[in-house]
Every structure is written in C-alpha cells, then in structure tokens.
Structure 1
Amino acid sequence: MPNILVDTDSTSLARQVALVQAKRTDRGRFAEGCVTIVADEEQARAAADPARHLRAAIVYGPSSSSEGQRLYYLVRWLV
C-alpha cells in the first residue's frame, strides 16, 4: 500500500468506509467505479462477499488522478 498523505483541512477528501470490488488485494488505489461508500464498518462487513471479490475497507478520497479519473486510496482492509 502506498503512503497516504492525509490533509486534515480538506473538505473534499476523507476517510470513509466502503465496499471495494477488487480481485487483487495488493493494490493501493481503486477507481471510483470500484468503490461503494457505506454507512459504517458493520454494514461493510455484512455486505462483503469474497466470492464476488467485494471486500470491506477503509478508503481515502476521492482524489483526482493525473489521467482525470477519481481514485480512492486504500487505508486498510476490514477483515
């Protein structure tokens, strides 16, 4: 996972609980289309489905990439 510089004064970037659609767990960032923000860790864990590669996580973002995509950075997986 990449080191993430968290801007505590940011009003557009935040740590959030999410479901991430990902086959690989060694990636550090995910396109916005792969991330669904949920209310809390309990909801994320309940909705996770490893058979469908849907994993609960804490993410940081969304951030704009140099390619014009909106990305979320993985803070940690909720196992």
Structure 2
Amino acid sequence: MGALSPWHIILIAVVLLLLFGPNKLPELGRSFGKMFREFKDATNNNSGNTNDNRELEAPKKELAIASDTAQQPNAQK
C-alpha cells in the first residue's frame, strides 16, 4: 500500500484530463511547478537568514567594544 502503482497514476491522469480538459493541464502543471519552486526558494532563504543573522551580530558586538574603548581615553583626559 506504500507507493502508487502505474495503474493508479494512469487513473489519476485520466480523471485530471476529464476534469480539466487537455487545454488546462499544461497551465495547471506550470502553476504547480512555479508553486514548488517558490516554496523551495523560500525555505532556502529562511535557512540562510538564520546564519546571516548570526554573522551580523558579531560585528555589532565588535563595534560596541570599539566604541567603549574609544570613549575611555577621552574620559581620562
């Protein structure tokens, strides 16, 4: 019961052909392809954003340390 057999795929294709007609099927396929591509891009961007945020936090800390050390000599003068 796990995978679809070739007969199941043929039956699904015939039902789709009857429901949507031969003119709408290519458009429907393009729509699904575009949807899956956008989903893949969105998931790749989200996983990349978490790494980017970590990399951006380190320079902020370095800037804070640099500004603290820059203010200390001025306070002593």
- Where on the TM-score scale, by shorter chain, does this alignment land: which range? under 0.3
Higher strand share: 1
Higher RCO structure (Cα 8 Å, ≥6 apart): 1
User: Looking at CA atoms only, which structure, 1 or 2, has the larger radius of gyration?
Assistant: 2
Give the alignment's TM-score, normalised by structure 1.
0.20
Give the alignment's TM-score, normalised by structure 2.
0.20
